[in-house]
Chain A
C-alpha cells in the first residue's frame, strides 16, 4: 500500500481485511516522518515502532498476548508530544536542560496506548516545556506550518498538529494548558481536543502548570478523537488529581445530531481586539450550519472572558516556577558546574532554559514572592472562582458553547516571538476553558486567506459525549475536515 489512510477507522478496517500489515503501515509512517520538512519531529523511534508493529501483526495472526482480537488502535501509527515520557525513548520537553534524557518509565497514557497495540513512530517538536503558542520556543528549532512554510503551526503542541495534518501519523498526543492542543489544531486544520480536567492521568508527563494541564489527541476526525479518548481516559491511582469516572462509551452520542440542542454563543468571543474578519466569517458560517442542522443558537455572556488572560498569566507561571524548580542539574539533564552548589544551579538553569521559560520563571516567582502573593496569586485564584461560576451559570441554559478557537489564522514565523503579550493574546478563547477545567475541541471550519480556521466546541465538565456530538454533527454537514495542505494532498 502506498496511500496513507485518512483516519483511524479507515486504517483499522484495512488492517482487519489484512490488506496491509501493521509493519507496512509503520514503515510508511516512518518514511513520511523521515521526509518531514516542517521540523515536526525531534526523534523518530524506528526500531521501537517496528518492534511494536511486529507484535501487532502476531496479534492479528491470532498469536497475540492472551488471545482475543486486537482493539481498534492496534497497528495504528501515532506520534507523541515530546513532553510525555516514553520509557527508553528520549524525552526532552523541547529543552536543552533535558537534552538526551531517557525516561526509565512511560507515562500512563503511553502505557495504555502500548497495551492496545498502537504503534508509536516518534516524538514531536514543541515549545520548550509547552510554553508558547507558535512552537518557535523549541530549543531544537521552530516548526513550520504545512499549509504555508512561512507560517507558524500554532503551539505549544505544533509538532503533533503537523504530524497529523501532513499525514505522518494517524493521531498524535499533545498537552493543553491554555490552548496548546486546540490552537495548533485550528491553525493546522485538524481536530484537537482537551478533556475535562481530571479525566486523563498525567503520571509520567512533564509537569508545566498542574491545575491546568491535560493530555489530549490530535486526529483527522471527531470520531477518531473519541476513539483515542476512550483509551486514555480513566482513573490511574498514581495520579491523585483525577475524578473516578469511566472513560468508555464516548462515541455513544456521535450520530445523534444537534436537533433540539441549545448552543450558546458567547458574545465576548466575537468582540475581541485583533479578531480577523476571515476567522469571524468562517465561524459565523459554521454557526449557521449548526442552526440548519436543527440546533437553537442562544447568545450568552461570559463577561470575564477578557480577564482570563490576566488570571492565566499569574496562575500558570506561578505553578510552572514551582514545577520547574526540579531542573537543578543534579539528577538528570544538563549540568553547568560553578564554584559552589548555588552557582551550579544558577548556571545550569541560565544555560538550560530558553528565553520564554526564563520569563515565566521570573513572572511566576514574582507573583509568589512575599508582598505580592495576595495581590496577584490569591487575587487571580479568586477571579478563577468567578470565571468557573460564570461558565456554571451559562451551562444551566445551554448544552454546549460554540466559539472561534483562535482569533487569527496561522501568523508569520517571527511575527510575535519578541512580543510576549501579543503571543499570549492568541489564546484568549482557549485559556478560559482551562481555567474552568472544561472539555473543548477544535474542528476545522474552512479557510481564510488559504489557511485553516477552527471552530471550538466547549461542553460542561465531564460532558465530552455532548461535545463530540456537536462536533461530529458539524463535521458530517461540511467537507472542511477533508481539506489538506497541497503538498500533502499531492
Chain B
C-alpha cells in the first residue's frame, strides 16, 4: 500500500493528531518521497539475520524494590493544565458512560 491521503488520515487518527486538509495534502507528498527512499531496505538480504532492538550488551537490569521518596506533588501539579487538578488527582474528561 502506497502512502496516499487516506493512509495519512488513518495513521494520523491512530496517532491522535488532528490534521488540517492542507497538512494531509502536504504530508502525503512529502512522506511518499521519504518512503520511496526507505524502500531501498528491500534490496538488502536479511535471511537468517536477527533484528537488533538495541546495541546495548545488557539484558534484564534488576534492582532492589525499595520504597523511595517521590516527587513533590505540588511541583508536579503546578504543570497541570488549567482545571486539570482535582485534589491529589489529575482531572480528565469522562471516559465511561453514566450508569442508566
B37 in contact with A421 (CB, 8 Å): yes
| Cα–Cα distance between A386 and B18 once the two chains are bound (Å) | 38
Kindly state whether residue B61 has any CB partner on chain A within 8 Å.
Answer: yes
Known: A307-B40, A335-B81. A241 touches B51 (CB 8 A): no
> Which residues of chain B are within 8 angstroms of A104 by Cβ–Cβ distance?
71-72, 75-76, 78-79
B90 in contact with A385 (CB, 8 Å): no
Known: A331-B90, A332-B79. A384 touches B51 (CB 8 A): yes
**Nearest A-chain residue to B50, judged by Cβ:** A385
Q: How far is the CB of B25 from chain A (nearest CB, A)?
A: 12
| Cα–Cα distance between A241 and B56 once the two chains are bound (Å) | 7
| Cα–Cα distance between A211 and B52 once the two chains are bound (Å) | 10
B41 in contact with A333 (CB, 8 Å): no
> Which residues of chain B are within 8 angstroms of A381 by Cβ–Cβ distance?
51-53
Interface residues of B in 55-100 (CB under 8 A from A): 55-58, 61, 63, 71-72, 75-76, 78-82, 84, 90, 92-95
**Nearest B-chain residue to A362, judged by Cβ:** B11
> Which residues of chain A are within 8 angstroms of B37 by Cβ–Cβ distance?
309-310, 313, 421, 424
A358 in contact with B38 (CB, 8 Å): no
| Cα–Cα distance between A332 and B76 once the two chains are bound (Å) | 8
> Which residues of chain A are within 8 angstroms of B52 by Cβ–Cβ distance?
381-382, 384-385, 388
Which residue, of A104, A105, A351, has the highest number of chain B Cβ atoms within 10 A?
A104
A378 in contact with B51 (CB, 8 Å): yes
**Nearest A-chain residue to B14, judged by Cβ:** A365
Which residue, of B12, B15, B41, has the highest number of chain A Cβ atoms within 10 A?
B15
| Cα–Cα distance between A254 and B23 once the two chains are bound (Å) | 51
Kindly state whether residue A262 has any CB partner on chain B within 8 Å.
Answer: no
Kindly state whether residue A363 has any CB partner on chain B within 8 Å.
Answer: yes
User: In terms of DSSP, what is the predominant structure of the interface of chain A?
Assistant: helix
Interface residues of A in 365-407 (CB under 8 A from B): 365-366, 369, 371, 376, 378-386, 388
Kindly state whether residue A340 has any CB partner on chain B within 8 Å.
Answer: yes
Q: How far is the CB of A361 from chain B (nearest CB, A)?
A: 5
**Nearest A-chain residue to B60, judged by Cβ:** A240
Known: A104-B72, A198-B56, A332-B80. A304 touches B44 (CB 8 A): yes
Known: A105-B71, A359-B27. A349 touches B18 (CB 8 A): yes
Q: How far is the CB of B37 from chain A (nearest CB, A)?
A: 6
Choose from B33, B41, B61, B81 the contact partner of A240 (Cβ within 8 Å). Answer: B61
> Which residues of chain B are within 8 angstroms of A268 by Cβ–Cβ distance?
none
B44 in contact with A358 (CB, 8 Å): no
A379 in contact with B46 (CB, 8 Å): yes
B58 in contact with A242 (CB, 8 Å): yes
Contact surface of B with A, Cβ cutoff 8 Å: 1, 3, 7-8, 11-19, 23, 26-27, 30-31, 33-35, 37-44, 46, 49-58, 61, 63, 71-72, 75-76, 78-82, 84, 90, 92-95
Instruction: Identify 18 residue pairs between A and B in the complex whose beta-carbon atoms are under 8 Å apart, listed by A's number.
Output: A102-B78, A102-B79, A211-B54, A304-B44, A310-B37, A310-B40, A333-B79, A341-B92, A341-B95, A349-B15, A350-B18, A358-B23, A359-B31, A365-B14, A381-B52, A383-B44, A386-B44, A388-B55
Q: A362-B8, A369-B11 are in contact. List 7 more A-B contacts (CB 8 A).
A: A197-B56, A241-B58, A350-B17, A355-B26, A363-B34, A365-B14, A436-B55
> Which 7 A/B pairs are nearest by Cβ-Cβ distance?
A350-B18, A381-B51, A437-B55, A335-B81, A104-B75, A332-B79, A382-B46
